[in-house]
Structure 1
Amino acid sequence: MTNATSALRTSVTIDELVASAQELSLAGRWPRALRLLDSAVPDDPADRARLARAAAEVALESDWFTGSDIAGPRLETAAELLPEGDWDLGFAQLRHTYGRLLVVDGALRLGPEGKDPEVLAGLRRQARDLRDGAPDEVRGGWTSMYLGLITDNLFADLAAAPAHYTAALAAGESGPDPLLAREALRHLGMHDHDGGNHERALERWRRATALGAGAGLVAGTLSQQLLLAVVARATGDEAGARALATEVARWAGAVGAGRLHTQASGFLDGTDPTAAPPVREEPVGQHVGGEAGGQPGV
């Protein structure tokens, strides 16, 4: 693999290049990660396809946290280079479709209202097929995670979703994949919080925060800290809640996580970021139910 942006030719393995871009993405350096991937010009078509897929995955993260809209073209490019049926591309496409279905008329809308039932059913079938055909336990766990998100946030079947998150947690812990375990704990804690079990939610959310930080997930760790502020407010510690949310807002603004900055600022104004948004009134990015894919997702 050579770097074509300089007269000085350097060599790096494809594994190291992709891993470096992924770590930059976790750190919230999405433009830098994309520039790194775009700067490489491998001779092997399989390597070019792998880099295109990695770039699409970085673009998905950027879209979620910053509100950019760059993943679509990246996914199309990857699809042209990868063999039909590539599992990882299929999962990235699933994530992209899920994110787009959260929005109706430019606003976040949870549940099935205003959405084509056949499209929703097709997405759930796709998730089940990916889970059943996953090449390993961890990737199967990620599709279980998305089955939970689809069930929760697109079908509004709140009773059925936790079983998918529990399966994802088991895969993340036995894999091990700390980001998958973090994501599952985040959403299981959301159901605890909604059910009034703040002690259990706090336990899960504290663990999720530590797992995200340990994996280098900058914006996701900040969003997790905002959930800790939610628990503080719910249990009567308003001063602690405001102190934590103030720092989350400050840090989110500094790293360019615009959606999270809006959420934290709304929390300081009295908005519960875990509440379902009012229909057609709340702009995208006001719900912090969780991320998925390490990664964004309500």
Structure 2
Amino acid sequence: MNSVEAVVTAATKLMLAGHWTAATELLDATRSDDPAEQHSLALARAAVAVDHDFGQQSDHATAALAAVPEDSWDLALLELRKDYADALFRSGDGDLRDRMLTLVGDAPDDARRAAASFWAGAIADNVYEQPAEAIEHYTHALELGDELTKAQALRHLGHHSHAAGNLELAREQWEQSTELLQKHGHLRPALAQQAHLAILLRDEGDADGSAALATEVTRWARQLGIGFIVDQTEELMRDLMVRRTPQERPR
């Protein structure tokens, strides 16, 4: 591994841990005269920016994506992920369906096909409201992906198991997802996953366990500035408070 590869690996680990600014600063401080290494650094900056924007609904990705010196499949996937975030948080669209299917079909290897399949599932699920199509994409991602991709696929498949009332399968999928995300230090989706485990505890009748887990997730998410997770767990805690009898409510 050369020095630029080592820097990109370190920046990726910082990104997964939610240290987006530190990851960007590390990449910005690294210089190379080699065009391939320059492209690698620019692509890594764009990946950090896209992940940052998804976590905090900021806009670092527009400039970072434009700065990547040449087109590639990897750049196209990052652009799709940015536009998906815009569709979720800013009511955008940008014709995501054709692009997501093209990326799945044109993926240069199984790992990339799995990643594209996961994002295709998320788009089908959350933008176009096509759950059957989404499950099919998630299943492909689970079959072909690395552990982080499998973790994301399991997380979303667990949503569908939960919605179908299969709490046992949802717990199995969500716990496996959480373990894989924790193994690789991917903090943001690990927190989102634990928020859903807190919801599952509520649905299983463990209000105290649900409240305790939701409280810890809220603290972590607030420190990272991930507002949508804070909103979700605070809503859950309000719901738990309403469900308690007056005698059970803390004073």
* Distance in 1 separating the partners of 2:102 and 2:133: 18
Residue 214 (structure 2) pairs with residue 245 (structure 1): yes
**Aligned-CA RMSD value:** 1.6
Q: Name the counterpart of 1:159.
A: 132
* Distance in 2 separating the partners of 1:211 and 1:150: 22
Q: Name the counterpart of 1:136.
A: 109
Equivalent of residue 89 in structure 1, options 55, 70, 75: 75
Contact 2:17 2:185 in 1 (8 A): yes
Equivalent of residue 33 in structure 1, options 6, 23, 31: 23
Provide the secondary structure at the position in 2 that maps to 1:269: helix
How far is 1:95 from its partner?
0.6
Residue 203 (structure 2) pairs with residue 195 (structure 1): no
Contact 1:142 1:180 in 2 (8 A): yes
Equivalent of residue 168 in structure 1, options 138, 141, 165: 141
Equivalent of residue 178 in structure 2, options 173, 188, 209: 209
Residue 84 (structure 2) pairs with residue 98 (structure 1): yes
Q: Name the counterpart of 1:56.
A: 46
Identical-pair percentage: 39
Contact 1:189 1:200 in 2 (8 A): yes
How far is 1:50 from its partner?
1.4
Which fold has the larger relative contact order, with Cα–Cα distance below 8 Å and residues 6 or more apart in sequence?
A: 1
TM-score (normalizing by structure 2) = 0.90
How far is 1:226 from its partner?
0.8
Residue 250 (structure 2) pairs with residue 264 (structure 1): no
* Pairing of 1:108-127 with structure 2 (within 5 A): 119-120=94-95, 123-127=96-100
Q: Name the counterpart of 2:245.
A: none
Q: Which amino acid aligns with 1:99?
A: A
Provide the secondary structure at the position in 2 that maps to 1:170: helix
Contact 2:14 2:23 in 1 (8 A): yes
* Distance in 2 separating the partners of 1:154 and 1:59: 22
Q: Which range moves more in the overlay, 187-196 or 156-165?
A: 156-165
Q: Which amino acid aligns with 2:184?
A: A
Q: Name the counterpart of 1:292.
A: none
Q: Name the counterpart of 1:149.
A: 122
Q: Deviations over 1:106-160 (max 9, x none)?
A: xxxxxxxxx66xx43xx21111111111111011011111111121111111222
Q: Which amino acid aligns with 1:73?
A: A
Provide the secondary structure at the position in 2 that maps to 1:160: helix
Contact 1:242 1:268 in 2 (8 A): yes
Q: Which amino acid aligns with 2:88?
A: L
How far is 1:250 from its partner?
1.2
Q: Name the counterpart of 1:70.
A: 60
Q: Deviations over 1:231-256 (max 9, x none)?
A: 00111111110010001111222333
TM-score (normalizing by structure 1) = 0.77
Structure 2 gap segments, 5+ residues each: 241-251
Structure 1 gap segments, 5+ residues each: 1-11, 106-114, 272-298
Provide the secondary structure at the position in 1 that maps to 2:67: helix
Q: Deviations over 1:203-247 (max 9, x none)?
A: 100000000000111222121111110100111111110010001
Q: Which amino acid aligns with 2:24?
A: L
How far is 1:104 from its partner?
4.7
